[in-house]
Structure 1
């Protein structure tokens, strides 16, 4: 049985639940306690702190400036308690715990299922939660404590995030096997722009990676489709609607079956997208989260090596 560690006031747990839920009633429902119990703990906490932690608004509760300061303290306390609990469990040989992962859509078709299978094999008592977000939303999920680990493409450096591992992958044009570009070893964006394009919206990292090439080619927003879904872009490319741009991550089944071709871009040099694994700066991961992070890092390194072998030495367009 997992150790039930209670080294902090219930008020901290209730405060964090209200912060996440935005209301006392919803927090109480998630905690399986009475709303009055949650309200009493919040009022007690505000009395001890000496200032309101929430603004009471018609649409719900919102953190005050003092509440935001206390929220950072609560996050550290709760995450450190979870780490200690998991380490105590590990001493007993119990690899238990729950790990929340916020990840981009592209890794959910093959990469993440592989990780989940391995985690279930090696750590059957560890449960996993996976949510898909755009790369730009993942830092907030990790720094706020909503996720233990984040996986995202092309993240900017942030003081709030610690990079556990990063892999570099070639960005390429995605076309069906019968497309005129399909037999090329490399291709420029300008050459791709001679055909209908499926372009990414601004919340995807690929938009920002390709923005200079798009501007040089004078394409602007002239793509026949603009989408924030890599799965939709992949399917449209398979149907021959247009050329889209992705890494090989998430294309494993299609490339193996030969239904799609991934042609690395060479636009004044190779275009790379970094796929990184992140956690919150200063956080010591619980045993379960650290074990899953190691699985993610090992798989990321393996796929980076596999791509280098598959692509080989690049040729110019």
Structure 2
């Protein structure tokens, strides 16, 4: 006869902390409890489940197959508990909560600060956590429960993520105003090849978006610099070291000052990069997370419309 599994919230909380930390001692430090208390909860869980949840390795703890299964349960339980708490607070008019966001670097220059400022005006009791990652790392971060929302360009579709909002922006060459290309309205990759290039490394979405056009043009994919940072690429373009490539997102201040020029790429047609907001599939969002996602989606739509209408960059 199958046994009935009864798991209490402290055990789930402690298990999730150990999963994230990779050690009982570090999990205990983060939880501000004794290591023995965490260890007891893990042993209790393993006894109740009837299988070890972690492999004890010299470098730390690693989830077993049973641990992977239980981790999916723990993520759902803890995120649903946060949603319930957020909704109860909303009923009381408190509008509290926390939102953890995994994001690409480019949106941290202007887009996210704008949205966070508006969130603080409307919901001053909501707190925000921001982790800056490469696009390729964001899906796992959201699916694992380490972040409530993911914000990234050109993410592939996956069953583990739900797309909340999508805005499309043109990819372009980025040059200083005195660059020979700066007076053009559009450029092709082949045209840019006549000048030194600052290219993105593979962990950035722009690398994958640019690769087909680069291969068709027969471009040297090494570039004078290959960078994993859009901020560094932007600075190198500003100093005239090479032509960089990105959307207008992240260039707002430079474009308004006139210190950089964004030239949309036309490679047998416009080249677009889709900026999306993502949450774990099947998750009902807490009030705080939903409020932040809505404000972010509205701002993305505003900037997408402004670009389509060729208006000045919103400020």
- The TM-score bracket by the shorter chain reads over 0.9
Once residues 87 and 199 of structure 1 are traced to their aligned partners in structure 2, the CA distance between those partners, rounded to angstroms, is 45
Cα distance change on mapping 1:34 and 1:222 into 2, 3 Å: closer
C-alpha deviation, 1:212, in angstroms: 1.2
CA RMSD of aligned residues (A): 1.1
Q: Does structure 2 retain, via aligned residues, the 8 Å contact 1:55–1:61? A: yes
* TM, length-normalised to structure 1: 0.95
Once residues 54 and 109 of structure 1 are traced to their aligned partners in structure 2, the CA distance between those partners, rounded to angstroms, is 40
* TM, length-normalised to structure 2: 0.96
Number of the residue aligned with 2:304: 304
C-alpha deviation, 1:215, in angstroms: 1.1
Number of the residue aligned with 1:70: 70
Number of the residue aligned with 1:44: 44
Once residues 311 and 236 of structure 1 are traced to their aligned partners in structure 2, the CA distance between those partners, rounded to angstroms, is 26
Q: Does structure 1 retain, via aligned residues, the 8 Å contact 2:190–2:219? A: no
Q: Does structure 2 retain, via aligned residues, the 8 Å contact 1:177–1:260? A: yes
C-alpha deviation, 1:221, in angstroms: 2.7
C-alpha deviation, 1:218, in angstroms: 1.7
Query: Which secondary structure does the structure 1 equivalent of 2:98 belong to?
Result: strand
Is 2:182 the partner of 1:182? Answer: yes
Gaps of 5+ in 1: 1-6, 313-317
C-alpha deviation, 1:8, in angstroms: 4.3
Alignment of 1:68-217 (within 5 A): 68-217=68-217
Cα offsets for 1:172-202 (capped at 9, x unmatched): 0000001111011111000000111001111
Q: How many residues align?
A: 306
Once residues 24 and 257 of structure 2 are traced to their aligned partners in structure 1, the CA distance between those partners, rounded to angstroms, is 52
Q: Does structure 2 retain, via aligned residues, the 8 Å contact 1:86–1:95? A: yes
Query: Which secondary structure does the structure 1 equivalent of 2:25 belong to?
Result: helix
Query: Which secondary structure does the structure 2 equivalent of 1:310 belong to?
Result: coil
Number of the residue aligned with 2:4: none
Cα offsets for 1:76-127 (capped at 9, x unmatched): 0010011001100100001001100000000000001101111111111000
Cα offsets for 1:48-76 (capped at 9, x unmatched): 00010000111111000000000000110
Once residues 176 and 220 of structure 1 are traced to their aligned partners in structure 2, the CA distance between those partners, rounded to angstroms, is 22
Once residues 224 and 59 of structure 1 are traced to their aligned partners in structure 2, the CA distance between those partners, rounded to angstroms, is 38
Q: Does structure 2 retain, via aligned residues, the 8 Å contact 1:188–1:266? A: yes
Q: Does structure 2 retain, via aligned residues, the 8 Å contact 1:101–1:130? A: yes
Gaps of 5+ in 2: 1-6
Once residues 12 and 104 of structure 2 are traced to their aligned partners in structure 1, the CA distance between those partners, rounded to angstroms, is 31
C-alpha deviation, 1:257, in angstroms: 0.4
Q: Does structure 2 retain, via aligned residues, the 8 Å contact 1:8–1:77? A: no
Is 2:209 the partner of 1:227? Answer: no
Number of the residue aligned with 1:242: 242
Query: Which secondary structure does the structure 2 equivalent of 1:158 belong to?
Result: coil
Cα distance change on mapping 1:222 and 1:34 into 2, 3 Å: closer
C-alpha deviation, 1:9, in angstroms: 2.4
Alignment of 1:241-280 (within 5 A): 241-280=241-280
